[in-house]
Amino acid sequence: MNRPRLSGPAFTLAPAVRRLNALAPLAESARGAIEAALQQTVSIPIRRDLLTEGKPTGAPRIIVQGWAARVRIQVDGRRQFLSFLLPGDLIGLCAHPDPLATSTVTALTPLKVCPAPAAETCPTLATAYAMSAATEEAYLLDQIARLGRLHALERILSLLLEFDERLDLAGLAHGGTFEIPLTQEQMADALGLTSVHVNRMLQQARREAKLQWTGRSVTIHDPALLAKQIGRAPVRVSAGI
Amino acid sequence: MNRPRLSGPAFTLAPAVRRLNALAPLAESARGAIEAALQQTVSIPIRRDLLTEGKPTGAPRIIVQGWAARVRIQVDGRRQFLSFLLPGDLIGLCAHPDPLATSTVTALTPLKVCPAPAAETCPTLATAYAMSAATEEAYLLDQIARLGRLHALERILSLLLEFDERLDLAGLAHGGTFEIPLTQEQMADALGLTSVHVNRMLQQARREAKLQWTGRSVTIHDPALLAKQIGRAPVRVSAGI
DNA sequence: CGGCAACTTGAATCGCTTCAACCCGAGTGG
DNA sequence: CCACTCGGGTTGAAGCGATTCAAGTTGCCG
């Protein structure tokens, strides 16, 4: 039931819908609910906070376009990006009452977000949300292993492989190539490094022909091989897909 | 409705029940379901895996007694503890179909576990589970910030404060004192350090009278002050409690 | 063309690791 | 009852990966 990839002025299949549908095949009612929510998409300027640590989360939202990050900042200015939020990812989804944000969420690019339809709308939507939450947790575990036991170059490559994998789900990566809106300093803040060292390691990666990073576009020359070299396994949370 | 703290041969309130009830006040039916599940407690020997990364999770369980850890091991032997599982914590709870374990879970001590009653048993139980999951994610975020942007000594103190906070919920810590079953090497594997360096930093912490660690017993002399010094805020996931 | 953010480079320094040795208390078996 | 072993903790010295600081360079945008 694939729609044609190009169908006139309208989009083909919004990355957000594509991701959620890839996590759990959506029934017509679920897809309809999301398409309806997409009509209420709003724009968020770059650097604006969507959530603030310790404050109520408000209604859950879906990222339609752009990148955001969960961030923690210490009093002395040290900054750590905890995770990145990409198109199709959910913001502020919680199953318990009166949820408080456990981290601040900041727009890394100009952002488009829409309301997340209630999980009760359709069982397939609830499943997609649950898959999304489980996937997010799995990536947090990856991030911990990255920071704890990988060297600088391994950390960088591992994170880029994660981006490739996640963007591919949303249809935003093709054969190891994708758009990345991050500066080297932002990469450093995610990887527990300094921007100077990220710079040097990226040069080494380019020298070793592992990847290409020109402007905003990254190409991983052989994702599968690279994943094997640094011992990274793709994230899988369910036997179903 | 507090039961007396000492009531003959029977336990007062099992740490696991105490923790879940602290996360969300349990209705009688929920508490009954857990008490019933506790009758089916089984023992797991030390070093045994309860879950294996990539394998189906099986039925969810509650830790009744002892400590476990989620662990990732690289081919070259590098080991990273992703998180620790303490009495009252849930193992393998997932909201989506056919869940696969996203990490191996290993018993760090001899363990007692019981089946986790289905969330559908009682809405208060479902809420407690949701709170538990949210809390777990919050601690993963803490762990990321620890590994990414804290120095060795800060990491150690931050983790010990987490243990104090979590064990207190289960009634297993009193005024900054609790039993810890970890070796310095296991601490190191959680904190992305070497055991040699953990040793040196612990000596420094003792020298500075921040804590005491004799045998299996840890005492943090002034948890609130220490938390302030290293910029740690208690984990809070809901405005309700 | 001027200004600013991001990227690049070199040199000195430091936090942590590595390696190797040693100590100590708790089992264990002769 | 003591020698033996073994896991965990302790210590010192050398080395390395990453940081720090400071000075360019590049490229984009007004």
CB contact under 8 A, A237 and B102: yes
Query: Does the C-beta of B156 come within 7 A of strand C?
Result: no
Q: Which of A140, A143, A163 is nearest to A155 (CA)?
A: A143
pLDDT confidence of B11, banded at 50, 70, 90? low
Q: Which strand ranges, in their side-by-side order, compose the sheet holding B79-85? A: B49-51, B104-107, B68-73, B79-85
The yes-or-no verdict on residue A172 having pLDDT over 60 is yes
CA–C1' B110–C27 (A)? 19
Mean pLDDT, residues B134-159 taken together:
98
Residue of B nearest to A241 (CA): B98
Residue B3, pLDDT score? 43
Q: Please, what is the average pLDDT of chain A?
A: 94
pLDDT confidence of B241, banded at 50, 70, 90? confident
Polymer length of chain B: 241
The yes-or-no verdict on residue B160 having pLDDT over 60 is yes
Q: A73 and chain B: CB distance < 8 Å anywhere?
A: no
Mean pLDDT, residues A167-193 taken together:
97
| Distance in Å, alpha carbon of B32 to nearest chain A alpha carbon | 21
CA–C1' B184–D6 (A)? 17
- C-alpha to C-alpha distance for B18 and B133, rounded to whole angstroms: 16
- Do strands A211-214 and B42-44 pair parallel, antiparallel, or not at all (unpaired)? unpaired
- C-alpha to C-alpha distance for A51 and A72, rounded to whole angstroms: 12
DSSP summary character for residue B211: E
User: Mutual orientation of helices A28-38 and A15-23 as an angle, nearest 10°?
Assistant: 150
From the list B72, B190, B238, the residue facing A96 with the nearest CB is B238
- C-alpha to C-alpha distance for A188 and A206, rounded to whole angstroms: 17
Q: B233 and chain A: CB distance < 8 Å anywhere?
A: yes
CB interface of B with A, residues 6-35, below 8 Å = 24
CB contact under 8 A, B149 and A80: yes
Question: Which phi and psi (to 5°) does residue B227 adopt?
Answer: -60, -40
Residue of B nearest to A144 (CA): B144
Tens of pLDDT, residue by residue over B90-109, are 999 999 999 999 999 999 99
Q: B236 and chain A: CB distance < 8 Å anywhere?
A: yes
Number of CB pairs, chain A paired with chain B, less than 8 A apart: 141
CA distances from A31 to A124, A129, A204, B215 (A): 9, 13, 44, 58
Per DSSP, what are the bridge partners of residue B220? Answer: B211
From the list A78, A99, A141, the residue facing B149 with the nearest CB is A78
pLDDT confidence of B6, banded at 50, 70, 90? very low
Mean pLDDT, residues B188-211 taken together:
97
Q: Which strand ranges, in their side-by-side order, compose the sheet holding A104-107? A: A49-51, A104-107, A68-73, A79-85
Percent of chain B with pLDDT over 70: 95
CB contact under 8 A, A102 and B70: no
Q: Which residue has the tokens 């064990």?
A: B167
CB interface of A with B, residues 155-184, below 8 Å = none
Query: Does the C-beta of A79 come within 7 A of strand D?
Result: no
List CB contacts of B54: < 8 A, sequence separation 6 or more. Answer: A233, A236, B100, B101
- C-alpha to C-alpha distance for A109 and A124, rounded to whole angstroms: 30
Q: B80 and chain A: CB distance < 8 Å anywhere?
A: yes
Report the 10 Å Cβ neighbour count for B132: 22
Tens of pLDDT, residue by residue over A121-157, are 999 999 999 999 999 999 999 999 999 999 999 999 9
Which residues on B lie below 8 Å from A233 (Cβ)? 54
Which residues of chain B (164-183) touch nucleic strand D at CB < 7 A?
183
Residue A119, pLDDT score? 96
Hey, what are A86's tokens?
Answer: 């990409």
Residue A5, pLDDT score? 41
Residue A241, pLDDT score? 73
Query: Does the C-beta of A200 come within 7 A of strand C?
Result: yes
CB contact under 8 A, A141 and B72: yes
pTM exceeds cut of 0.75: yes
From the list A54, A76, A134, the residue facing B99 with the nearest CB is A134
- C-alpha to C-alpha distance for A6 and A17, rounded to whole angstroms: 16
| Distance in Å, alpha carbon of A93 to nearest chain B alpha carbon | 10
Per DSSP, the three-state class of B77 is coil
Hey, what are B65's tokens?
Answer: 């007694």
Chain D bases closer than 7 A to any CB of the protein? 7-13, 17-22, 28
Query: Does the C-beta of A183 come within 7 A of strand C?
Result: yes
Q: Please, what is the average pLDDT of chain B?
A: 94
Query: Does the C-beta of B152 come within 7 A of strand C?
Result: yes
Tens of pLDDT, residue by residue over A61-80, are 999 999 999 999 999 999 99
Candidates B70, B120, B144: best to mutate against A (most CBs of A within 10 A) is B144
Report the 10 Å Cβ neighbour count for A139: 18
Q: Which residue has the tokens 């095949």?
A: A25
Residue B10, pLDDT score? 44
Q: Which of A162, A240, A126 is nearest to B100 (CA)?
A: A240
Query: Does the C-beta of B200 come within 7 A of strand D?
Result: yes
For residue A216, give the nucleotide whose C1' atom is nearest its CA: C6
DSSP chain A: -PPPS-BTTB-SS-HHHHHHHHHSPPPHHHHHHHHHHHTT-EEE-TT-EEE-TTSB--S-EEEEES-EEEEEE-TTS-EEEEEEE-TT-EES--SSSSBB-SSEEEESS-EEEEEPPPGGG-HHHHHHHHHHHHHHHHHHHHHHHHHHH--HHHHHHHHHHHHHHHHHHTT-EETTEEE----HHHHHHHHTS-HHHHHHHHHHHHHTTSEEEETTEEEES-HHHHHHHTT------BTT-
From the list B74, B83, B133, the residue facing A149 with the nearest CB is B74
